[in-house]
């Protein structure tokens, strides 16, 4: 549903020059890459769609590339390539800081480093390990404690004493939940 909603939003506002819409589009594309990452990591090859699909067309979609093996290796590689390309493009389109609950360039870069690690391992691409390191290192050094930093005590990242640490500098991207 998340991917379908993202594709519908992107199709619906294509060609808009409004700066706020452009930022929303970048956030949505980040989320779509995140959805694909979770699906690919969990299920392997999934249907990769980048535009809205009608129910009639959806019946003919498959999760295997032409000539793919039984594990869907070509499809999985295409999915990780898509995720990395989306995040590479979004890291410069998103703001460095934003109001709570919005996606930032730091979140995109951190997630890009993670996607590089998965692609390096699953797609047997050793060069991605260096890309993951460089991406994560640049995020750490550029932030220099102003936006992101490590907590002085590891347990402070978590709410183990009933204290609120929701806005820790160590958290790059989170989804707020409401109890009950």
What pLDDT is stored for residue 51 in this prediction? 85
Q: Look at residue 50 in the predicted model and tell me its pLDDT.
A: 86
**Structure confidence at residue 140 (pLDDT):** 80
Give the pair of three-digit tokens for residue 15: 């060609």
Residue 158: per-residue pLDDT: 73
For residue 169, the model assigns a pLDDT of: 76
The pLDDT of residue 71 is 67
- Rounded Cα distance between 83 and 34, Å, is 8
pTM over 0.85: no
**pLDDT under 70 in the chain at which residues?**
62-67, 69-71, 143-146, 159-167, 177, 180
State the residue for tokens 């870069």: 109
Handedness of CA 32, 17, 173, 115 (dihedral sign): positive
Predicted local distance difference test score (pLDDT) of residue 80: 94
pLDDT value for 164? 63
Question: In this structure, how many other beta carbons lie within 10 angstroms of the beta carbon of residue 45?
Answer: 21
């Amino acid at each position: 549903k998340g991917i379908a909603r993202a594709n519908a939003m992107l199709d619906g506002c294509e060609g808009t020059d409004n700066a706020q819409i452009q930022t929303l589009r970048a956030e949505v594309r980040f989320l779509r890459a995140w959805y694909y990452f979770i699906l690919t990591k969990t299920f392997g090859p999934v249907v990769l769609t980048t535009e809205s699909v009608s129910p009639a067309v959806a019946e003919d979609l498959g999760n295997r590339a032409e000539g793919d093996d039984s594990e869907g290796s070509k499809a999985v590689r295409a999915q990780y390539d898509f995720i990395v390309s989306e995040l590479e493009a979004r890291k410069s389109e998103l703001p460095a800081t934003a109001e709570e609950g919005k996606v930032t360039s730091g979140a995109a870069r951190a997630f890009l480093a993670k996607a590089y690690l998965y692609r390096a391992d699953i797609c047997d691409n050793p060069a991605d390990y260096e890309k993951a390191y460089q991406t994560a290192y640049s995020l750490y050094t550029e932030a220099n404690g102003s936006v992101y930093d490590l907590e002085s005590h590891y347990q402070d990242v978590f709410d183990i004493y009933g204290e609120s640490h929701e806005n820790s500098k160590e958290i790059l991207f989170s989804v707020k939940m409401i109890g009950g």
